[in-house]
Amino acid sequence: MLSVDNIEVVYNGVIRAVQHVSLKVPDGGVVALLGANGAGKTSVLRAISGLLGMQRGKLIGGTITLDGERIDKLEASQIVKRRLVQVPEGRRIFGSLTVEENLRAGGYSRNDRVALRKTFDQVMTLFPVLAERRKMSAGYLSGGEQQMLAIGRAMMAAPRLLLLDEPSLGLAPVIVQQIRSIITQINSEGTAILVVEQNATMALSVAQHGYIMKTGEIVLDRSAAEMMADDQVKRFYLGLNEAGGRLDFSRLKDKAVRLTERTERKAGV
Ligand code: ATP
C-alpha cells in the first residue's frame, strides 16, 4: 500500500539526513523502523506525512506512493485526508485543552458528524483512561496517558496507516506493555502501522517486518522473526543481549578500555 522509493532528505539545504531509503508497508501490516538516535527515522516519517517543510527539511530525491498515487508533493493536510496519520515524537498534545477537545481536534479533516461520533466512541472504548479523564486538561495527564491521547487523537482521523514515532519513549515498562497491546488492537481492526522505535524488542514483537537505519541509510531489511532470531543482528544492530534485554553500553565501553590498557601494557606502550 505505502511504497517509499530511494528517498533523500536534507535540512537547511545542506544537512543530509536520509539517503537511498526504500521501504514498504503492506495493507494492514505492521512494520518497524529501528535504529539509534539520529539515524534518520523521524526524517523518514516526516517525509511520508509531508511534515518536512515545518522543520526546514526537504525531500530532494525519490518517490512516495500510496496505492500507486504519488503523495510526495502533497501538503500535510492532503495526506491526512488520505488517512495517513502521524503521531509525532514527544506527543505534542495541546496541554491547555481538555482530553475531549484534543480528540476532537484530531478529527478536523473529516466532515461526517455521524462517523466522527462513532470514531470518538471507539476511541473512548479503546482508551478507558481517557474516557475517565475526558474533561481534564491534557497537561495534567501522566506521560503514558499523554501518549495514549496522542494515539487517540490520530485515530480520530480514521487512519488506514498510522505512523508512530517512538511511542514507548520515556515510559515505564508496564505502560510500554499497554501501548504495545493498544498497537496490536488498532492493527487487528485493520489499520496498518509503521512504528519508529529505539525499543527494538517492543517494536519487533508487534511487527511482521523490520528495517534498521544507520546514519541515514537502511542497513538491514528482514522479517521481524528473522531479526529476533539472529544473535548477531540483536547484538550489533539492536543493542540487545541474548535474553532480549538492552546491552549496557557504558559497561561495554569500560570493558573495551580495560582490554586496550591491558594490550598496551603487554606491548610495553
Ligand atoms: P531520534 O531518535 O533522535 O529522533 P532519528 O533516527 O529519528 O533520531 P532524525 O531525527 O531523523 O533521526 O535525524 C537524522 C539527522 O537529521 C540527524 O543528524 C539530525 O541532527 C538531523 N536533523 C533532524 N531534524 C533536523 C532539523 N529540523 N534541522 C536540522 N537537522 C535535523
pLDDT tens track for 150-205: 999 999 999 999 999 999 998 999 999 999 999 999 999 999 999 999 889 899 99
Nearest residue to 21 (alpha-carbon basis) of 47, 54, 56: 47
Out of 41, 164, 169, 198, mutate this one to test ligand 1's pocket (max ligand atoms within 8 Å of CB): namely 41
Place of cell 511487527: 207
* pLDDT value for 248: 47
Bridge partner residues of 15 (DSSP): 11
* pLDDT value for 252: 43
Residues with CB under 6 A from ligand 1: 11-12, 15, 17, 35, 37-43, 55-57, 89
**CB distance 1 to 84 below 8 Å:** no
Q: How confident is the model at residue 244 (pLDDT cuts 50, 70, 90)?
A: low
Residue of minimum CA distance from atom 15 in ligand 1:
17
CA distances in angstroms from 116 to 91, 184, 227, listed in the order given: 22, 22, 39
Cell of 267: 606491548
Q: What is the mean pLDDT of residues 75-95?
A: 89
CA angle 216, 218, 224 (to 5 degrees): 135
In angstroms, how far apart are the furthest CA atoms of the chain? 79
**CB distance 265 to 222 below 8 Å:** no
